[in-house]
Amino acid sequence: MQKQIRRYSSDSDAGLLTGLPPVLARIFHHRGITGLTELDYRLERLPSPDTLKGLPEALSLLVDALQCQQPILVIGDFDADGATSTAVALRGLRALGARQVDFLVPNRFTYGYGLTPGIVALALERQPQLIITVDNGISSIEGVAAARAAGIKVLITDHHLPGEQLPAANAIVNPNQPGCPFPDKSLAGVGVMFYVLMALRKQLRKIDWFSSNGIAEPNLAQLLDLVALGTVADVVPLSYTNRTLVQQGLLRIRAGQCCEGIKALAGVAKKELPRLVAADFGFALAPRINAAGRLDDMSHGIACLLTDDPLMARQYALELDSMNRERRVIEGDMQEAALNDPRFASWNESDHLPWSLCLYDSRWHQGVIGILAGRLKEKFHRPAIVFADAGEDEIKGSARSVSGLHIRDALDSIAARHPRILSKFGGHAMAAGLTLRREHFETFCELFEQEVQLWLDEADLEAVLVSDGELSAYDINLELAEQLRAAGPWGQRFPEPLFDGVFALKSQRIVGEKHLKLRLGLPGENSALIEAIAFNVDTAVWPNPAATHAQLAYRLDVNEYNGLRSVQLLVQHIAAL
C-alpha cells in the first residue's frame, strides 16, 4: 500500500523550548511538549501512588500477608508485560520481606487468559492464602469468585479496560477502573505493580517493619530495568509517567545495573548495554520473551528474568532465542498463507480492500495470530483480526487496530447488540483478544466490518507517515543522530523523529536478499554523500536503475562497524521521482 508523507502542521511555538538545539525543539514541539519540565525524568517528579483507587485495601492485604508470612501466589500473563510484571512482583515482595511468594502463569493453549476457574484449581495445589494478579484479572469474574469461595484472598493489579461488572476481589488496583483519580491511565501492568510496591514500602516504613525485622530497606529503583522493558513491550502510550519509568530503567541498564536476564537477552540479540535504546526493548528483547508464551510456556521467560546466575540467564536466553527463531518461521508461513488467501487475492490496491480484515485458518498457530494481525494492519492500514482454533468448536482471535478505532470498545458495541456472537473479549484501544464459536465467524466478520465503518472514515484508512520536516545537509550529521538517540525514550504516541526529503540516488544494491543499500547525494550538495538502508523492500521495484532521485521518509541512525561510527539514514519509505 502506498504511503503518504505529511508534516506536522506548525513549528511556530517551538521557540518556547529555549535551551534546546533548534531541530530538537521542533521535534518536541511536534509531540506536544510545551516546557522543559516535561522532559525532566527524575523519579521524584512521578505522580504519587496515593490517588490509586483500591490502594488502601491492597496495602492492608499485603501488610497482613507479610506480617503473618502468608503464602502468596502471583498469577501473571503470557506476554512480556505479564512476564516483567511477575518478575517485578516476586523480586519486590521478596526484597520487602516476603518469604513465601511464588508465581503461576497460565499456559495460553490450556487455560486461556487471566485468572480462570481452571487456573484457580491449579493454584489451590500451592495452597496460597493470597493471590495477586499482574497484568490481568480485571475481567476474571468467575475466577475471582472461585478463589474467594475456596477461602483465598485476591488482589487484582491490572491496567486493561474493565467491563460493566468488576470481579469481587478483596482489592483492585487499576488506574482504568471507574472512579480512579490517578492522573495517568497509560501505565502498563508492570507499571501498576511497581506503583503498588512503592506504596507498600512507604506503608511498611510507617509501621517500622524494616528495622523491627532486621531487613534492609530495598531500593525499588533496582526494578526499573524490568519496568522499562515491560512498558515498551506492551506498546502503551509513552506518557510523561511512562517516559520517566522507561528512561530511568534505560539509564540503569546502560550502566550495567540490571538483572542477569536482561543482560543475557541483550547478549543473544547482539545489543550492547551502553547503547541500548527503547526501540531495542520492542524489537530485540521483548520478542524473545514473548516467544516463550507464544509457543510454549511463559515460565521460561519469567525464569530468565528472575535468576541471578549469569550462566543460567544465558541458558534461558539461548532457549528463548531459539523459540523466537521458530516463531519467525511459523509467522512467515502464516503470513504467506494469509496473503495468498483467494478471498483476498485482489487486496493489492486499497480500492479493493474492505474496511476491516478478518481471517481464519484452522492450521494457524494460536500463539502467533497477534503478530500476523499486526503485520496485516501495517501492510493494509486496516484494523485486522486473525483467528485460530481454540478447541471445542471455538476460535480465538487477536485484534490490532488503527488510529481512530478503539478496538475494545468496538467489540463491546458488537457484544451489546448481538450478545450471542462473542463468548468473551477484552483489551484496550489498539489491541484486543476475543473468543467466539466457529459457526459465528462469518457473521462476526460482517458485524465487525459494519462497526468499523461507523468509527472510521476513508481518510483514516490511508497509510500516513507524519514527518518532522526536512533536514538540511548541514543537519544530517553524527552529532544530531547522537542527540536524537539520547533525547528519547521514543515510542507509542511519542514517536521517534522522522524526516523527509528528496535525494539523488548515486548507487543502489540489494543486500541480505531484500534490503536496499543506497548511497545518496545530500540535498543541495553535489559532492557530499551519505549511506542509507531500506529494509524489506519490494525487489520487483527496487533497485530501480531508471530512478535518479527519490523522495524518502527516514530516521537518522548511528551505524557502528569495526569500531567506527557514522551517520546513516534508516529509510521508512522510498518513492522514485
Per-residue pLDDT tens digits for 512-521? 888 999 999 9
The answer for residues whose C-beta is within 8 angstroms of residue 414's C-beta and 6 or more apart is 421, 422, 444, 447, 448, 451
**How many other CB atoms sit within 10 Å of the CB of residue 531?**
15
Whether 349 has a pLDDT exceeding 60, the answer reads: no
Task: Give the DSSP H/E element, type plus range, for residue 384.
Answer: strand 384-391
May I ask the CATH architecture of the domain 43-322?
Answer: Alpha-Beta Complex (3.90)
Highest mean pLDDT among 45-54, 387-396, 417-426, 552-561: 45-54
Per-residue pLDDT tens digits for 469-514? 999 998 999 999 999 999 999 999 999 999 999 999 999 999 988 8
Query: What is the reported pLDDT for 347?
Result: 57
Q: CA-CA distances (angstroms) from residue 557 to 30, 531, 537? A: 20, 10, 19
The CATH classification number of 347-461 equals: 3.10.310.30
**Distance between CA atoms of residues 508 and 518, nearest Å:** 5
Give 269's DSSP letter. T
DSSP 444-482: HHHHHHHHHHHH--GGGGSEEEEE-----TTT-SHHHHH
**Distance between CA atoms of residues 355 and 358, nearest Å:** 10
C-beta of residue 293 within 8 angstroms of C-beta of residue 108:
yes
CA proximity to 304, closest of 337, 254, 362, 260: 260
Whether 526 has a pLDDT exceeding 70, the answer reads: no
Query: What is the reported pLDDT for 1?
Result: 63
The domain spans of the chain are 3-34+465-576, 43-322, 347-461
Per-residue pLDDT tens digits for 390-423? 888 999 999 999 989 999 999 999 999 999 999 9
Joined grid coordinates for residue 482: 547522537
C-beta of residue 269 within 8 angstroms of C-beta of residue 70:
no
**Distance between CA atoms of residues 6 and 468, nearest Å:** 9
Mean pLDDT for 139-151 is 96
The answer for residues whose C-beta is within 8 angstroms of residue 9's C-beta and 6 or more apart is none
Per-residue pLDDT tens digits for 411-457? 999 999 999 999 988 888 888 999 999 999 999 999 999 999 999 99
Q: Which position has the grid cell 472461585? A: 146
Same fold, 43-322 and 347-461: no
3-34+465-576: what fold? Answer: OB fold (Dihydrolipoamide Acetyltransferase, E2P) (2.40.50)
Q: Which position has the grid cell 513491550? A: 233
Whether 350 has a pLDDT exceeding 50, the answer reads: no
Instruction: Count the helix, strand and coil residues of the chain and give each as a percent rounded to the nearest 5.
Output: 45, 20, 35
Is there a cis peptide before residue 489, judged by omega within 30 degrees of 0? Answer: yes
E strands, 162-312, in order = 171-173
φ, ψ at 351 (rounded to 5°): -65, -25
Query: What is the reported pLDDT for 430?
Result: 87
